[in-house]
Structure 1
Amino acid sequence: MTIAIETETPARLEGKYKAMAVCWILGLGSLVSWNSMLTIGDYYGNLFEKYHPTRALTLVYQPFALGTIAILAYNESRIDTRLRNLAGYTIFFSSTLALLLLDLATSGKGGVGPFLGICAIVACFGVADAHVQGGMVGDLSFMCPEFMQSFLAGLAASGALTSALRLITVAAFEKYQNGLRNGVMLFLAICTFFEFLCILLYAFLFPKLPIVKYFRSKAALEGSKTVSSDLAAAGIQTKVGQAEDEGLQQQRLSVKQLFFQNIDYALDLFLIYVLTLSIFPGFLYENTGHHQLGDTWYPLVLIASYNVWDLISRYIPLVECLKLESRKGLMIAILTRFLLVPAFYFTAKYADQGWMIMLTSFLGLTNGYLTVCVLTVAPKGYKGPEQNALGNILVLCLLGGIFAGVALDWLWLIGKKQGF
């Protein structure tokens, strides 16, 4: 096999912290559009009250995300990662802009037509999410674990940022006529800017960082074809001998083999997000009753509490002694977390808002911490192409858990007046 690439040693690598910062921003852009939809649930709840938008839009989003990631995960070895991620961020940018333009065109009016338009845009979010999350997690799986942690922290930061922006815009426009809508418009404009920034960073800055070029060159040496466009963008040419390349492909574990070797990690991520999405955000918006903070502020505070602690917890594994790496320990912690279901039920029914805020914070804390632990531990011991494939498999299971959790979230409406 003949490969004309840079083969720098780790001692000479530069730009690690710059790469971590870029990964954080790229993680932010991977979910900021969707989190914007969750965070402005109060606005859509007023416009489309009969359609339960906080639940319905999530249910629209997930089949498109899950179906797309299933196709991409199965074919990941033949898909150009650079084009995949750029396509995802571009769809995010155009869809967020379309959401803003749709509201302007309809003058903020409700009705089935605008709601169907929003559903179509949300479906595009799902397709973009599958492109970006699977592509980025697979790409970062053969690089530093710190890059993966930064990307996952950026995902959580998107929730914290959107919550903070939403609280600020609500406070700023609360006393004005159409204040809620004006706040949403400003909010969506900021999110659109972040998506455009991600396109620029991934296209022009990230592939040219020395440490990123090193890891992608190493992956190419191990037989990965998905990094060729990124290496070309960085000015590195690759030439792989066909016969020996075919030998590498035969030695590589199949997607099925990788899945069964890591079935516990796959189940971990599935169960984490089944629980989280069966509570967040639908239950928090519609099943927590009326409290002193009021119908406008109370759900926003709950969403913000979850997002802030989800972000904080994703930095905990950076402390080695606090990182949970035991496969059995991870499974026990994740199964124990299901005790939160009765805890939320009885807290909503009998306790005051302080207990609910604390419980929601713990939901976010465990969600972020366990996600980072699983996704940084699972790829260890594999070569670059297999790490990329495993990253895609794990994201598929994660999105499968989200889809199942969203479906189960509707069970909270059983017995509730005007639930359907």
Structure 2
Amino acid sequence: MTIAETPARLEGKYKALVVCWVLGLGNLVSWNSMVTMLDYYDKLFEKYHPTRSLTLVYLTFALGAIAILAYNESRVDTRPRNLTGYTIFFASSLALILLDLATSGKGGIGPFLGVCAFVACFGVADALVQGGMVGDLSFMRPELMQSFLAGLAASGALTSALRLITVAAFEKYHNGLRNGVMLFLAICTFFEFLCILLYAFLFPKLPIVKYFRSKAALEGSKTVSADLAAAGIQAKIENEAIQQQRLSIKQLLFQNIDYALDLFLIYVLTLSIFPGFLFENTGHHHRLGDTWYPLVLIAAYQVWELISRYIPLVKCLKLESRKCLMIATLARFLLVPTFYFTAKYADQGWMIMLTSFLGITNGYLTVCVLTAAPKGYKGPEQNALGNILVLCALSGVFAGVALDWLWLIGNQSF
């Protein structure tokens, strides 16, 4: 099989960009639906601190799963991995609807444990899909990676918008909050089903995707064989010795330790504030009310994070220097005291502006790091590096969620 460097390899690029965007949206739409519905679960399971405990459950399973998958990435075929992940997302989203219907929207330890179980499934699915997709797109064009990452952010913006609409539509009705949540979950379940169809039948058949996967197969990758078979291509590895020549996970990590630290620190800072602090510690200096205020803050974060993920498309605005990326990442930690004093003394306008800035810096730096990470490796090594970077990002998310509990020190409700 000969792979030529011709313009034909770019055929289907724009279709691939759209599909990657939708697949990115599907990767986090279920979890972001949980984040934006925490006002409902906070009232249903108030004494269990769902804004923090559900996030901790999600991240525990996501981190454990991605650690196992990153270590064994070369032996896990991408197609069954991603399809399994999207199927779990779909089934768990549907199960949350059925659980609420079965319990008639009542609280208690039983329903709460049921919600925790399905949130844990979301964590495992996230590890399967995000690691699989980032690893797969790492040996393709940066535009595809950027589109997938933009889709991740779009899931947050979309769920926030839908949540605000459903709250406004059902606010005056009996059980309006619960009815809005049911409609909301049904929409998210549909998106997950759409992602299953797109990945199973369209994505592997796009010419640009077939080109890069065929190229990766020639370089020794064994993770693309099922997708190539689905596209009607017989994968062939010309030289088995290539597998022996590839860098180890440890070598890849040490060569890219600054990128790994960047992603870890970006998400440590973000998740130590979002969403727990925004729901429970933003004070009373506002006029939007306890129902609308956290939803507006979450929406501000999600919308600006989505916008910021497109900023690196403007070449002069893209940050590529490894030193500058580290400086910018460390400088974000000044947001911790800023959020503390804003919540204590400032009004809602300052908090909304600060939350928007948190979203802008999170989205912008994430895209810059993942698209600037070295591209000189062969297909199998790029896939491994993508999984390593996702592991570092989820490790940062887990650490940030754990640190988020520190905001409750001195709080009488703790």
TM over 0.5: yes
Query: Among residues 340, 351, 356, which one is paired with 2:351 in the alignment?
Result: 356
Mapping of residues 143-292 of structure 1, within 5 Å: 143-241=140-238, 244-245=239-240, 247-290=241-284, 291-292=286-287
Aligned letter for 1:235?
Answer: G
Distance, in Å, in 2 between the alignment partners of 1:7 and 1:283 is: 52
Q: Does the 8 Å contact 1:5/1:217 carry over to 2?
A: no
| Equivalent pairs, count | 413
Distance, in Å, in 2 between the alignment partners of 1:207 and 1:9 is: 19
Mapping of residues 293-332 of structure 1, within 5 Å: 293-332=288-327
Query: Among residues 399, 403, 418, which one is paired with 2:398 in the alignment?
Result: 403
Distance, in Å, in 2 between the alignment partners of 1:17 and 1:123 is: 34
Q: Does the 8 Å contact 1:7/1:218 carry over to 2?
A: no
Structure 2 residue ranges without an equivalent (≥5): none
Q: CA RMSD in A?
A: 1.0
Change (3 A) 1:199 1:7: farther
Q: Does the 8 Å contact 1:7/1:214 carry over to 2?
A: no
Q: Does 1:377 align with 2:372?
A: yes
Q: Secondary structure at the match of 1:108?
A: coil
Mapping of residues 95-106 of structure 1, within 5 Å: 95-106=92-103
Aligned to 2:12: 15
Q: Secondary structure at the match of 1:240?
A: coil
Distance, in Å, in 2 between the alignment partners of 1:26 and 1:358 is: 30
Aligned to 1:86: 83
Q: Does the 8 Å contact 1:379/1:390 carry over to 2?
A: no
Give the superposition deviation at 1:284: 0.2
Q: Secondary structure at the match of 1:324?
A: coil
Q: Does the 8 Å contact 2:269/2:333 carry over to 1?
A: yes
Give the superposition deviation at 1:11: 4.1
Distance, in Å, in 2 between the alignment partners of 1:402 and 1:180 is: 29
1:39-72 CA-partner distances (Å, limit 9, x unpaired): 0000000000000101000011111100100010
Provide TM-score, normalisation by structure 2: 0.98
Structure 1 residue ranges without an equivalent (≥5): none
Aligned letter for 2:207?
Answer: P
Query: Among residues 6, 25, 28, which one is paired with 2:25 in the alignment?
Result: 28
Q: Secondary structure at the match of 1:279?
A: coil
Aligned to 1:127: 124
Q: Does the 8 Å contact 1:139/1:388 carry over to 2?
A: yes
Provide TM-score, normalisation by structure 1: 0.97
Distance, in Å, in 1 between the alignment partners of 2:6 and 2:204 is: 17
Q: Secondary structure at the match of 2:331?
A: helix
Q: Does the 8 Å contact 2:218/2:236 carry over to 1?
A: no
Give the superposition deviation at 1:416: 1.0
Distance, in Å, in 2 between the alignment partners of 1:106 and 1:157 is: 31
Query: Among residues 60, 64, 68, which one is paired with 1:67 in the alignment?
Result: 64
Q: Secondary structure at the match of 1:176?
A: coil
Distance, in Å, in 2 between the alignment partners of 1:88 and 1:5 is: 32
